[in-house]
Chains A and B, each alone.
Chain A
Amino acid sequence: STLPAVAEELLREIKMAFQETSQVPDDLLLGLKFIFGPCAVPALDLVDQRSVTRVRSPSGRILYQVLGSSGKLYTCYSSCHFCTCPAFGFSVLQKSESLLCKHILAVYLSQAMGACQELAVSEEQLTNILLAEEEDEG
């Protein structure tokens, strides 16, 4: 499949451009829109608002928490593409209509532009975050 490689390359170019010029050129923004479609603008908005937090535990486990527009906190995994938001379950898992949801895209963009907030927690706290997500779903 081609699309993940294309998405990855696009994000990498955004990172390189940002590192060199502290800016993202217009054509890369339009490229984001082309590949990610309706996710692009909301994801950029989340980055503008610094909504992505990288949560890290002493053992090196990482996950991302994204503050959604409704005020709800969504968890995105770092080891695979997963987000606890309903749009992910629907557009990505069920319908295969999108590669990512806006939260996961915001995570990547925040990484590329150094816009992640950092939070260090204990092992137990990280575990609780992961378990709490499961309980919420039920």
Chain B
Amino acid sequence: LCRGGLAERLCRLQNRERSAISFWRHQCLSDDKIPSDKSGVLIVKILEIFEECTIQVATCQQLEQSPATLSPEDAVINAEEPILKVLFTRETAAHLKCRPQDVIHIYPPWQKLLLQNADVPVIMNTYFSQKVLLSEHSEAREKTYGLTKMLIKKNIISLAQTFRLDDVDAKLHQESSDNQVPCAPQTHNNSDSKRHPLALSAVNDSLLEMVESQGAVGWREVQVQVVIQRVYCLPAREGYRSHTQGNKPLCAAPVRNSDPPNVRLCLLVQDAYGMFSEVQLQSLSSTDDIEQFCRRWEGKSCCLAGMKVLQRTTRGRALALFSLIDSLWPPVVPVKVPGQSQDSEMMTTNLPPPSFCYILTVQSGEIHVEVDGEEQISNLYQPPAVHSLKEILRIDGCNERCSFWAQVLYQRLKTKHNVPMDQREMLLFVTDSTLQNVVHGIPKVVAVSVAASCVLSMEIIEALSAGSQLVFFKDALWGNGRIICVERTVLLLQKPLLCSAAGADLSELTGPVRLDELDSTTQANSICALRGTVVGVNESTAFSWPTCNRCGNGKLEVCPQDRELLYCNQCSEVVTTPVLKMQLEVFLSCPSLSQSTVKVKVWHEISTTLFVLLTMLLFLQTYEVQSVLGKEVGLLNCYVHSVTSHPNCAALEEIVLL
């Protein structure tokens, strides 16, 4: 930066301002009473709030005094109080979580700007703002607001309007802007469209017609009626090149956001002609519940407006998307054929499956997905066909989408623990009553691979860590003898409301879960049960260590005050009753796999009694291998690390099922 230049000066001012803001915020946290010094403080009540290019523009009413000092009846909008437009940066707005009806105190230094043609003053530099809550109303309001308003409205700014810095008087200014030829779509008044969405234009029912007639500019005035077949999330890394006129992509790579995992809510919709389209909506935060969106939106009709075409993709380029589309083909009701007149309903069901699909996105941030909560489920909707795991294992094809309801017994991460959430891969071992009740021929437990592209909600991740769960796997992929969860697969905790459950048994498992016993057909990366006799101990691998009985922390330290005691720095407390954990590798002879040496890594806590003898011996540091040999072990649940045939050997690790 140039010395003594404007840029350097602004940097200095900005740094000073930033420290002042963080200091002020810190102060606000520590004393939560309204400060008594009111000089220069603006008190405003937000009437409505929109976002324009990351700045939140709030139309507010200026209040004379804080409504906390008035009774609720007095806090009625007084028509004579002055109206202001207050601007907040995205960061301040996120801090405040502004909503209409909120009262905000804006502390100096703020700036007021009077615009030439408007009589509403604009307030800027509102970094030092604080929301004042009216305690009786705030909670209830936060809750209802959260449910109804899921989308932020944005205003599009026209590029045709340049800034005039000359000091012309108002009349001339207006005339010259009238003479300008509009070369970009007119800006759209958000509030009007919000009140009268259908007044925009007649509703069309063909996606293809709309895309082809309007081009890549966007169809802000036209609405298309479609049915929402599926709701799911896609990782935002799966970005698409955007279209501009002339097919020149402006952006070469998708954005890798530094925010928490960037996930976009998407819909797979189908129009009356049977044509599909994938609509990418807004980014979801980790707290948003995909399950709620699915329940509210799937199967309903909606009107799409304000959409823009991102891409036209084909079967060859988007196999995953088309495997989902294929699972929804043929349509359950006859569809219209383009070219036929609307009156004569010539419909056919012998159409070939689609070979292309448009990917759409919301152009301006306005989302006109008008879904009526009480509306009927459309006839065109095809709910997921739920099958039992036994049936799925017998499916003949490859890349078939399948849905099932299963109990998750065990979860294992395939990637390392420190890999970010959006790149983790895991294996879930699942079963249901159809697999458990079979004598032989099919496995009792199936491994479901969850790829990084399958978005899991926080709810599911927490539930799976907490214990064994019944999970509904919607639109998983079956192929090459394996079930995998990829993009567009959704894992849900609740039973689907509508599904065609032809052969499925959605009941809970009765009785304890049984695993297949270790034998010659056991493969690596599976789980099994085993029993056998100890024939050897790998002494070099034996060790034990104390862990905190509260949090499980394995790295306890010696207490400085008393060297006999142990200290856990995660709990910040002395550990009086540590849990002793132990690891040991034993060699077993298993009757079910008599040709092989079976090596099992055994983990044990002192409090379980399964392997008591060995446990006690190790703890007392007096064990002798001789006294352990020949002891019977079983039934242990294990994860199979590897099975090799030359030499014949199986390496397993004892596990605890969820």
Q: Are B125 and A11 in contact (CB under 8 A)?
A: no
Residue interface bits B153-167, CB-to-A below 8 A is 1, else 0: 011111111111101
Q: Are A3 and B57 in contact (CB under 8 A)?
A: yes
Residue interface bits B112-151, CB-to-A below 8 A is 1, else 0: 0111111000101100000000000000000000000000
Query: Within 8 Å of chain B (Cβ to Cβ): is A7?
Result: yes
Q: Are B122 and A112 in contact (CB under 8 A)?
A: no
Query: Within 8 Å of chain A (Cβ to Cβ): is B209?
Result: no
Query: Chain B interface mostly helix, strand, loop or mixed?
Result: loop
Q: List 28 A-B contacts (CB under 8 A).
A: A1-B52, A1-B157, A2-B122, A4-B161, A5-B118, A6-B115, A10-B113, A11-B163, A13-B113, A27-B111, A29-B6, A31-B113, A31-B124, A35-B124, A41-B1, A41-B7, A44-B7, A48-B2, A78-B162, A81-B160, A81-B162, A86-B251, A89-B251, A94-B250, A96-B364, A97-B54, A98-B53, A98-B54
In the complex, chain B residues whose CB is within 8 Å of the CB of A41? 1, 7, 10-11, 14
In the complex, chain A residues whose CB is within 8 Å of the CB of B53? 3, 96-99
| Cross-chain contact of A35 among B5, B55, B157, B158 (Cβ < 8 A) | B55
In the complex, chain B residues whose CB is within 8 Å of the CB of A32? 10
In the complex, chain A residues whose CB is within 8 Å of the CB of B10? 29-30, 32-33, 40-41, 44
| Chain B residue nearest to A138 in the complex (CB) | B248
Q: Are A7 and B7 in contact (CB under 8 A)?
A: no
| Chain A residue nearest to B163 in the complex (CB) | A8
17 extra interface residue pairs, beta carbon distance < 8 Å, beyond A8-B164, A34-B87: A1-B52, A1-B158, A2-B52, A2-B85, A3-B57, A4-B157, A4-B158, A4-B163, A9-B113, A9-B114, A27-B125, A29-B13, A45-B7, A82-B159, A89-B251, A97-B53, A112-B165
**Which residues of chain A (26-71) have a CB below 8 Å from chain B?**
26-27, 29-35, 37, 40-42, 44-45, 47-49
Q: Are A90 and B157 in contact (CB under 8 A)?
A: no
| Cross-chain contact of A34 among B117, B118, B124 (Cβ < 8 A) | B124
Query: Within 8 Å of chain B (Cβ to Cβ): is A132?
Result: no
Docked Cα-Cα span, A49 to B1, in Å, equals: 9
Query: Within 8 Å of chain A (Cβ to Cβ): is B242?
Result: yes
**Which residues of chain B (314-367) have a CB below 8 Å from chain A?**
364-365
Binding site for B on A (CB under 8 A): 1-13, 15-16, 24, 26-27, 29-35, 37, 40-42, 44-45, 47-49, 78-82, 86, 89-90, 92-94, 96-99, 108, 111-112, 137-138
In the complex, chain A residues whose CB is within 8 Å of the CB of B156? 1, 96
Which of B114, B161, B163 is packed against the most chain A CB atoms within 10 Å?
Answer: B163
Q: Are A9 and B115 in contact (CB under 8 A)?
A: yes
In the complex, chain B residues whose CB is within 8 Å of the CB of A81? 159-162
Q: Are B165 and A5 in contact (CB under 8 A)?
A: no
Complex A-B, nearest 10 residue pairs according to Cβ-Cβ distance, in ascending order: A48-B5, A89-B250, A45-B7, A44-B7, A48-B2, A8-B163, A44-B6, A3-B52, A81-B159, A1-B155
B158 vs chain A, min Cβ distance (A): 8
Docked Cα-Cα span, A35 to B88, in Å, equals: 9
Query: Within 8 Å of chain A (Cβ to Cβ): is B523?
Result: no
Query: Within 8 Å of chain A (Cβ to Cβ): is B89?
Result: yes
In the complex, chain A residues whose CB is within 8 Å of the CB of B54? 37, 97-98
| Chain B residue nearest to A10 in the complex (CB) | B113
